[in-house]
Structure 1
Amino acid sequence: MSAPERVLPALRLDLLAFPEAVPELRRAVREWLDEPCADVQLCVTELVSNVIRHVGEGAPVRVRVARTGTHIRVEVTDPDPHTLPVLRRADAEEERGRGLSLLDAVVCRWGVDHGGEGKVVWCELACT
């Protein structure tokens, strides 16, 4: 008989989207999962970095990371319902524009939900 799977309550963090907040956010995700989690950290980093870049520094965001059965779901909520993520191909010379391509390569699926006065950009990764 195998040991029961450890059930974690969701990690929920409210913060202001500043570049200085990203390393602490990555650390919080690693501590919450209590295991190596480079792909989850990548997703959190890219989604919050998109808020910083496209919504604006200092925007209030809510980050939620939860185990949902066989997946880990990452959600980043921001107040701008109009600025939507766009998956595109960056040219070799471009220094930006690869974040969603990286995210798309490691997740099972991702999307955007609208509600209230903002949006939730989410992704799901398979648990290993």
Structure 2
Amino acid sequence: MSTSSGPFSGPFSGPLTLELLALPKEVPVLRRTVREHLGGPCAEVQLCVSEIVGNVIRHVGEDTPVVVRISGMAGGRTRVEVTDPDARALPVLLRAGGDDERGRGLALMDAVSLRWGVRQEDGRKTVWCEVGRP
């Protein structure tokens, strides 16, 4: 996983950019890296990052190169972006039933984020969300 950051006005040191391969073993490392970067508890941000990268693993495939960006916004919000090279595999918000084993990830992200969406461009997509202060 490679990282970079730069200045911005926000609650933490600056934006975080991570380039990695979408693999299940990278998800806990990613959550830990995000928490360290944000300097404390950030369960909602960690959940959003985990769910978006988990969807890449499940629906695009393991070993898919992704770019994860975490940045501060006005009003203390945090923006999470995950870009992958498959513009066709779009996330779909499902309402999983009690016995369903899958389909809750985006519903969880939808519940904890202020808003979220997908941006498609040049053969890739970026799934993004904005999380308020804890």
- Using structure 2 for the length normalisation, give the TM-score: 0.89
Structure 2 CA distance for partners of 1:34 and 1:113, relative to 1, 3 Å: same
Identify which of 22, 31, 48 aligns with 1:17.
22
Deviation at 1:36, TM superposition (A): 0.4
Answering whether residue 45 of structure 2 is matched by residue 40 of structure 1, we say yes
Equivalent AA in structure 2 for residue 46 of structure 1: E
Q: Give % identity.
A: 56
The whole-number CA distance in structure 2 between the counterparts of 1:5 and 1:82 is 33
Question: For residues 62 and 76 of structure 1, what CA distance do their matches in structure 2 show?
Answer: 6
After TM superposition, the structure 1 = structure 2 runs for residues 29-108 of structure 1, keeping only pairs within 5 Å, are 29-70=34-75, 71-108=77-114
Note the residue ranges of structure 1 that are not aligned, 5 or more in a row.
none
Whichever residue aligns with residue 64 of structure 2, its letter is A
Count how many residue pairs are aligned between Structure 1 and Structure 2: 125
* SS of residue in 1 equivalent to 2:98: coil
* 4+ aligned runs moved over 2 Å, structure 1: 4-8
Q: Deviations over 1:58-78 (max 9, x none)?
A: 000000000011210000000
Match of 1:124 in 2: 130
Q: Which has the larger radius of gyration?
A: 1
- Answer whether contact 1:14 1:61 (CA < 8 A) is retained: yes
Contact 2:81 2:126 in 1 (8 A): yes
Residue 72 to residue 6, structure 1, CA distance change in 2 (3 Å)? closer
